[in-house]
């Protein structure tokens, strides 16, 4: 197949729309089910690059959950703890394959943002992963292959209209890439930067200790940022992104946004949240929304409106600001990456509130000394990578 006609472009009024290879060669994909759209393919191709690089960097199966050309979550296939399985709503599925664990983590990091996602998988989609995907609200999935059992499950989704794309894992794109804006063609070399241990060798803080586990988390952070709309920062813990701040004009707003998502991920693991008793028949998305309200400042308003009566078996006690802070203070050893330099130490101060201990950023600000001093104040280890990772 050398060309694929799409229903429309970014919006229904943008026609005609298609994908094709400029050199006239075959497209490196097969659509096995559904009819993916313009934005679906943008998410699919960016997501595929991300998980491919995560797999190369860590040796582990990887997954990402994309929304509007930025990842909502990304992770590698480490086993799930009982607590993580519970907050990701997969504790009823038994022991999952490494690939399924990767997607459960990628989806679970920010379940509200992942609602209606496009999934990318580094490995052949197996039955465990397909069973997990089948019951979530999602637009589609791209992978290098699908087992017969997995494909059969996915073809049942959305009344047979779920988007399933198989990509040639040996496809290598041209070194020059192009796009048009306002009728004008832009050309640049592909960002083929390899992120490995050496990327974090220049540690500029008093604390020089970055253990191997933290280097893996920093690599996950930076690879995720490589395919996230800038400005962006990414918090990572235990092999998965736990907070991604994308597309903000101010870096401190990225840090706050991602930090709040990381905080919510940790608060979901608190005894107060784990003890919530939902009424029978409440779906996963509705439970996610209820938890988000419960851990937010709006909960008093929700209680006043009596919304809890439609969701919970038992009226939950207020999760006080002091209780939340005490629980958040237990989150430690978080890694933080930034796609460009931190211009002020306020980013470090905000990151510290979310348990950040390891930082990677390009450096090069006129206030680098201020940022380094903020890290030293909190005993953080920070590496200057010397390379920006903007993505637009």
Average pLDDT, the chain: 94
pLDDT > 80? residue 306: no
User: Of the listed 40, 46, 55, 67, which one is catalytic?
Assistant: 67
Instruction: Please tell me the predicted confidence (pLDDT) of residue 318.
Output: 86
> pTM for the full model?
0.95
Catalytic residue, chosen from 231, 261, 264, 347, is 231
pLDDT at 46: 97
Q: How far apart are the first and last CA of the chain?
A: 28
Instruction: Render pLDDT for 36-47 as a digit per residue (tens, 0 to 9).
Output: 999 999 999 999
Structure tokens at 230: 């800038």
Closest-CA residue to 219 (of 55, 94, 31): 55
> What is the C-alpha separation between 47 and 53, in angstroms, rounded?
10
How many CA atoms, within 13 angstroms, populate the side-chain half-sphere of residue 119?
Answer: 37
Provide the percentage of residues in the chain whose pLDDT is more than 90: 89
Round to whole Å and give the CA distance between 371 and 375. Answer: 6
- The Cα 75–Cα 78 span in angstroms is 8
Let me know: does 257 contact 354? Beta carbons within 8 Å: no
Catalytic residue among 68, 134, 378, 391: 68
- The pLDDT confidence band at residue 301, using thresholds 50, 70 and 90, is low
Of the residues 13, 159, 170, 392, only one is catalytic, namely: 392
Q: Has residue 328 got a pLDDT over 70?
A: yes
- Ramachandran angles phi, psi of 227, nearest 5°: -125, 25
Q: Which stretches within the chain are classed as H helix? A: 38-58, 82-87, 98-108, 111-114, 127-134, 148-155, 212-226, 251-267, 271-274, 284-295, 299-305, 321-328, 346-352, 368-377
Find out whether 362 and 385 touch, Cβ atoms under 8 Å: yes
Give catalytic status of residue 231 as yes or no.
yes
Residue 22's CB is within 10 A of a number of other CB atoms, namely: 7
68 a catalytic residue: yes
Instruction: Indicate if the pLDDT at residue 90 is higher than 70.
Output: yes
19 class by beta-carbon count within 10 Å (0-12 exposed, 13-18 middle, 19+ buried): middle
CATH numbers and ranges of domains, the chain:
3-172 (3.40.140.20), 177-267+328-384 (3.40.140.20), 271-318 (1.10.287)
Residue pointed to by tokens 């419960």: 294
Is the CB of residue 243 less than 8 Å from the CB of residue 235? Answer: yes
Q: What pLDDT is recorded for position 322?
A: 93
């Amino acid at each position: 197949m050398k060309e694929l006609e799409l229903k429309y472009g970014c919006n229904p009024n943008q026609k005609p729309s298609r994908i094709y290879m400029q050199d006239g060669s075959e497209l490196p994909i097969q659509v096995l089910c559904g009819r993916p759209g313009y934005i679906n393919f943008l998410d699919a191709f960016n997501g595929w690059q991300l998980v491919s690089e995560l797999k190369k960097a860590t040796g582990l199966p990887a997954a990402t959950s994309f929304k509007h050309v930025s990842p909502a979550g990304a992770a590698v296939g480490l086993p799930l703890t009982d607590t993580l399985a519970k907050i990701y709503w997969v504790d009823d599925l038994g022991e999952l394959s490494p690939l399924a664990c990767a997607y459960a983590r990628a989806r679970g990091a920010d379940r509200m943002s992942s609602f209606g996602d496009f999934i990318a998988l580094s490995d052949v989609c197996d039955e465990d992963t397909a069973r997990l995907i089948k019951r979530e609200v999602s637009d589609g999935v791209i992978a290098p292959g699908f087992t017969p059992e997995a494909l059969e499950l996915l073809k049942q989704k959305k009344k047979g209209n779920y988007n399933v794309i198989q990509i040639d894992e040996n496809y290598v794109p041209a070194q020059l890439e192009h796009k048009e804006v306002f009728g004008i063609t832009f050309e640049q070399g592909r960002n083929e930067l390899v992120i490995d241990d050496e990327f974090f060798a220049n540690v500029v803080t008093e604390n020089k200790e970055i253990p191997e586990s933290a280097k893996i988390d920093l690599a996950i952070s930076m690879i995720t940022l490589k395919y996230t709309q800038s400005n962006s920062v990414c918090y990572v813990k235990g092999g998965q992104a736990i907070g991604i701040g994308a597309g903000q004009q101010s870096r401190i707003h990225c840090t706050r946004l991602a930090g709040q998502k990381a905080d919510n991920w940790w608060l979901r693991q608190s005894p107060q949240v784990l003890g919530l008793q939902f009424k029978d028949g409440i779906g996963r998305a509705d439970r996610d929304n209820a938890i988000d309200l419960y851990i937010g400042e709006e909960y008093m308003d929700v209680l006043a409106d009596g919304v809890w009566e439609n969701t919970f078996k038992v009226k939950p006690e207020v999760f006080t600001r002091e209780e939340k802070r005490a629980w958040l203070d237990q989150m430690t050893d978080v890694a933080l990456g930034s796609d460009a330099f931190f211009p002020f130490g306020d980013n470090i101060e905000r990151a510290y509130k979310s348990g950040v201990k390891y930082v990677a950023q390009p450096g090069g600000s006129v206030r680098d000394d201020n940022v380094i001093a903020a890290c030293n104040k909190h005993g953080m280890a920070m590496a200057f990578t010397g390379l920006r990772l903007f993505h637009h």
